[in-house]
Chains A and B, each alone.
Chain A
Amino acid sequence: GNSVTQMEGPVTLSEEAFLTINCTYTATGYPSLFWYVQYPGEGLQLLLKATKADDKGSNKGFEATYRKETTSFHLEKGSVQVSDSAVYFCALSGSQGGSEKLVFGKGTKLTVNP
Chain B
Amino acid sequence: KAGVTQTPRYLIKTRGQQVTLSCSPISGHRSVSWYQQTPGQGLQFLFEYFSETQRNKGNFPGRFSGRQFSNSRSEMNVSTLELGDSALYLCASSLGGQGTGEQYFGPGTRLTVT
A residues adjacent to B (C-beta < 8 A): 32, 34, 36, 41-46, 49, 51, 89, 91-93, 95-107
The reply to whether B42 and A102 form a contact with Cβ atoms under 8 Å apart is no
Number of residues of chain B lying within 8 A (CB) of chain A:
28
Q: Which residues of B contact A106 (CB under 8 A)?
A: 42
Chain B residue with minimal CB distance to A34? B101
Name A93's closest neighbour in chain B (CB-CB).
B101
Determine whether B64 belongs to the interface, using a CB cutoff of 8 Å to chain A.
no
- Is the Cβ of B55 less than 8 Å from the Cβ of A105? no
- Chain B, residues 43-57, CB within 8 Å of chain A (1/0): the string is 101001010000110
- Give every chain B residue within 8 A of A91 (Cβ-Cβ): 101
Within residues 90 to 109 of chain B, which ones have a CB less than 8 A from any CB in chain A? 90, 92, 94, 96-108
